[in-house]
Amino acid sequence: MDFIAILSIFVLACFVGYYVVWSVTPALHTPLMAVTNAISSVIIVGALIAAAASGAPAAKWLGLAGVVLASVNIFGGFAVTERMLAMYKKKDKPIAKGNKA
Amino acid sequence: MIPAPEIVPDLSTAADAAHAVNPWVALAYLVAGVFFILALRGLSSPASSRCGNRFGMAGMLIAVVTTLMTHLPVKSWCSGPATGTPGGLMSCPVQSGLDTVTILQILAAIGIGAVIGLTTARRIAMTAMPQLVAAFHSLVGLAAVLVAAAAFINPGAFGILGLDGNILAVSRVEMMLGAAIGAITFSGSVIAFAKLNGNMSGAPILLPARHLINLGTLAAILVGTALYALAPSAGPGEGWLFWAILVAAFVIGFLLIIPIGGADMPVVVSMLNSYSGWAAAAMGFTLHNTAMIITGALVGSSGAILSYIMCRAMNRSFLSVIAGGFGADAGASGGESKEQRPWKQGSAEDAAYMLQQAEKVIVIPGYGMAVAQAQHALREMADMLEEQGVEVKFAIHPVAGRMPGHMNVLLAEASVPYENVFELEDINSEFAQADVAFIIGANDVVNPAAKTDKSSPIYGMPVFDVDKAKQVFFIKRSMGGVGYAGVDNDVFYMNQTTMLLADAKKMVEEINKNLDG
């Protein structure tokens, strides 16, 4: 892929991000931060490449350290998001009286 | 700056080999990216949110497995005697196979991360969410720095070597930006964490000439990046630039956050969220990886939008938040011309009686409620009132709590159904019909000075119209402290206001006893 192709993906993804994030309900802004944090750890891809490459031990160890950090984030981020989202509940009992909302 | 790809001939350069990937692999990363979009899309409603989170996990799994499969660590060794002339070309029958040690090391690294991540996620208190998110941001930042450093040391593995054996200029810029943004995210998040966690005072630390220092450092980073990109070699010759810029970026991240006060931390956390995204995107450019670029763009815009929402909810410009210093002069602004005004103190019995008589009650929780851990007692109060036929709604200001949406999580944790929780703009018109506005641990967000007093530091901030409610109960620890902004609040002195001076949790429990009897 050449630079322009990548740049196109990036710019379009920024627009997608803009519209998707505005549609997130404000009540879920904290889970939004937790989950964006988890997915930004996709940087683990780079760390895995560095860790798997042969030839430069220093780069390999940096990569392994990166894998540890990113996976703390991936597991921690998704798990804490799941924990928070599980707490959002609907009303379990019938409403006492007319609620116009 | 941008090398035309045509100048790279079919001399299988490392750059070509690594980037001309199998279309199935490219497709897998694209699917991962799309799954991440769906993960955020799911958050548009609590009902679809958990499904969204699963999409996120699936996307990550696809990205990780794809990378592991396509970058299996291999090692080669000579399986027979070498032939050829010593000193000249030597060759030997080569055998290659999986490097199992490295595979195990990678799996161990993932395992260590999983254990730390899962235990933290399980144990963390919901009130400590902002610190946790700040800590997680710092990890993403540091991971980006490590990946960039690894790419700098072993560029061949990342396919960013040009024909001349040097790192391609455009890759140097991308890599440098990723490293610098990652470093800023890291040191900034560490400071944000320390401030939110109370390891460090929330008060802004103002260095003399800080704007000059910050702008100078930023300029140095940009100029350094340009010099590095144009340098004849990226190796040992000009390589020191890489490390120097990295150090400068660590320093600027630290300098940018220390002058920002505790009240502005929601903006800072959102901003660092954004930075961690841009760092991932920059590394995605380096690796030509669609999943990383899409994710980086999503996270970057997400953080930027959240910062914008927070700034708007405080009526502050993003620049003034970044410039810092808010809250430092708070003591001075509160002291001027304050006459003693009469106010009314009430008891839990009074409050319980009035709440029972009401038809409609709007509860306005603030961070003080979370500090006092009063959310569970508050939910019991709401339940009891609803059983007695009172309509109870919760009203949440965008800056309530220490990060966007924090108060919603705390109420959800206390099992308040989310249909009863409303945002500022959705409920503000209902105060005129409300019999009781019940303010607990909030202050600035109900201060009418934001609407009327142009000299007030919070002027222009959207606030709840509690003055329109027939009756106001205001739970506050004492008449002393006056919110983050340090401004007096006219709501204390209104005719219909009754102050309930006590610890929020004790007061609500006291009210609950009276509701019961």
Nearest by CB: A56 against B114, B154, B296: B154
pLDDT at B201 (0 to 100):
80
The contacts of residue B108 (CB under 8 Å, 6+ apart) are none
Average pLDDT on B370-393 reads 91
**For B84, left (φ over 0), alpha (ψ -120 to 50), or beta?**
left
| Domain spans of chain B, in order of start | 127-325, 348-516
pLDDT at A31 (0 to 100):
95
Residue B367 has pLDDT above 80, yes or no: yes
Question: Percentage of chain B surpassing pLDDT 70?
Answer: 89
pLDDT digits (tens, 9 = 90+) for B72-106: 888 777 777 777 766 666 677 777 788 888 999 99
Asked whether residue A1 is assigned to any structural domain, the reply reads no
Question: What is the amino acid identity at position A13?
Answer: A
pLDDT at B265 (0 to 100):
83
- Rounded CA-CA distance B299/B16 in Å is 29
Q: Active-site residues of B: which are they?
A: 444
β-pairing, B94-98 with B74-78?
antiparallel
pLDDT at B487 (0 to 100):
65
Measured between beta carbons, the chain B residues lying within 8 angstroms of A78 are 53, 56-57, 60
- A33–B73 CB contact, under 8 Å: no
pLDDT at B334 (0 to 100):
42
Asked whether residue A21 is assigned to any structural domain, the reply reads no
β-pairing, B83-84 with B360-365?
unpaired
Q: In a structure prediction context, what are the per-residue pLDDT tens digits for chain A, which is 101 residues long?
A: 688 999 999 999 999 999 999 999 999 999 999 999 999 999 999 999 999 988 888 999 999 999 999 999 999 999 999 999 999 988 765 444 444 33
Question: What is the amino acid identity at position B324?
Answer: G
Nearest by CB: B37 against A9, A16, A92: A16
Rounded to two decimals, the pTM is 0.86
Average pLDDT on B272-295 reads 93
pLDDT digits (tens, 9 = 90+) for B299-341: 999 999 999 998 888 888 888 787 766 654 444 444 444 556 7
- B301–A60 CB contact, under 8 Å: no
For residue B165, name the pLDDT band (cuts at 50, 70, 90).
Answer: confident
Q: Nearest residue on chain B to A16, judged by CA atoms? A: B298
Closest CA to B216 of B242, B176, B251: B251
| Mutation choice for A interface testing from B140, B306, B396 by most A CBs within 10 A | B140
> Across the A/B interface, how many CB contacts are shorter than 8 Å?
394
Alpha carbon of A52: minimum distance to chain B alpha carbons (Å): 5
Choose the weakest-confidence range: B90-99, B185-194, B487-496: B90-99
- Rounded CA-CA distance B142/A42 in Å is 13
Name the token pair of B69: 């499969």
Average pLDDT on B237-260 reads 88
Give the highest mean pLDDT range of B280-284, B316-320, B441-445: B280-284
Could you tell me which residues are beta bridge partners of residue B75?
B97
For residue B448, name the pLDDT band (cuts at 50, 70, 90).
Answer: confident
In DSSP notation, A13-53 reads: HHHHHHHHHHTS-GGGHHHHHHHHHHHHGGGHHHHHHHHH-
- b/e map B316-340, b = 16+ CB within 10 Å: beeeebbebbbbeebeeebeeeeee
Domain ranges, residue A40: 26-87
Structural contact between residues B335 and B411, judged by C-beta atoms closer than 8 angstroms: no
Structural contact between residues B370 and B127, judged by C-beta atoms closer than 8 angstroms: yes
Asked whether residue A14 is assigned to any structural domain, the reply reads no
- A89–B409 CB contact, under 8 Å: no
In DSSP notation, B393-449 reads: EEEE-TTSSSSTTHHHHHHHHTT--GGGEEEHHHHGGGGGG-SEEEEES--GGG-TH
Alpha carbon of B117: minimum distance to chain A alpha carbons (Å): 4
The contacts of residue B437 (CB under 8 Å, 6+ apart) are B361, B362, B364, B431, B446, B464, B466, B469, B471, B472, B473
The complex's ipTM works out to 0.90
- A32–B40 CB contact, under 8 Å: yes
The sign of the dihedral angle between the CA atoms of B481, B485, B488, B494 is: negative
Measured between beta carbons, the chain B residues lying within 8 angstroms of A89 are 412, 415, 417-418
- Rounded CA-CA distance B416/B405 in Å is 14
Measured between beta carbons, the chain A residues lying within 8 angstroms of B50 are 82, 85-86
Is B348-516 a domain of CATH 3.40.50.1220? yes
- A74–B113 CB contact, under 8 Å: yes
Structural contact between residues B49 and B43, judged by C-beta atoms closer than 8 angstroms: yes
pLDDT digits (tens, 9 = 90+) for B27-70: 999 999 999 999 999 999 999 999 999 999 999 999 999 999 98
- Rounded CA-CA distance B300/A36 in Å is 9
Which residue do the tokens 């409609």 mark? B360
- Number of structural domains (chain A) is 1
- B298–A33 CB contact, under 8 Å: no
Coil, helix or strand at residue B211: helix
For residue B169, name the pLDDT band (cuts at 50, 70, 90).
Answer: confident
Residue B505 has pLDDT above 50, yes or no: yes
